Chains A and B, each alone.
Chain A
């Protein structure tokens, strides 16, 4: 158990819909990272938050948005969903920044868009 909690674990929805994925970082971790993993693909970095503020941005689509709340949990919002958005979405957390130590990954949220 990494201490990072992601909900929901599985989500099936239709094209055009909007979903919200939630992540609770490990106790004490200030940084939250979101990654997308498609079938047979690596981990695509989407976005990082540190203590409530956006820290770094990867190849995140404009249809996607995220935020980190004062209690440090984070939400990833995916809108106008397309079939290609079907993937496993991981949240990870760390004490500070990536460069200072390991990332702790949650178990992921598997999104299926039909």
Chain B
């Protein structure tokens, strides 16, 4: 069936290092969204990408949507302790089902 794969599942970085998580879909997505869930919290919307090859930036966060609209990435520059959490990508699949990746859990080492 249709899947959205996220890698890595876990990532430990030193504070100040960069971090990237990747999202790959088995099918073309009309759009992709990214969410952040802090420990003990609920997912919070970060951004939506719609266009092929689209790149959007939010301060230290850079989001990309692949040319084929089957993959996406989130890159954080110079991580801070406030970046701790799990980052999910999500896209609308066939039959209007909303598919979330399993997420990448980011740990920041001080």
Cα separation A43 to B97 with both chains bound (whole Å): 13
Cα separation A90 to B35 with both chains bound (whole Å): 14
- Which bucket holds chain A's interface residue count? 20 to 34
Number of interface residues of B (CB under 8 A): 23
Does B96 contact A2, Cβ atoms closer than 8 Å? Answer: no
Most B Cβ at <10 Å: residue of A35, A43, A57, A103 = A43
Most A Cβ at <10 Å: residue of B6, B42, B44, B103 = B42
Q: Please, which residue of chain B has its CB at the minimum distance from the CB of A104?
A: B45
Contact A101 B48, CB 8 Å, known A42-B88, A90-B42: yes
Most A Cβ at <10 Å: residue of B44, B88, B97 = B97
Q: Which residues of chain A are within 8 angstroms of B100 by Cβ–Cβ distance?
A: 35, 42-45
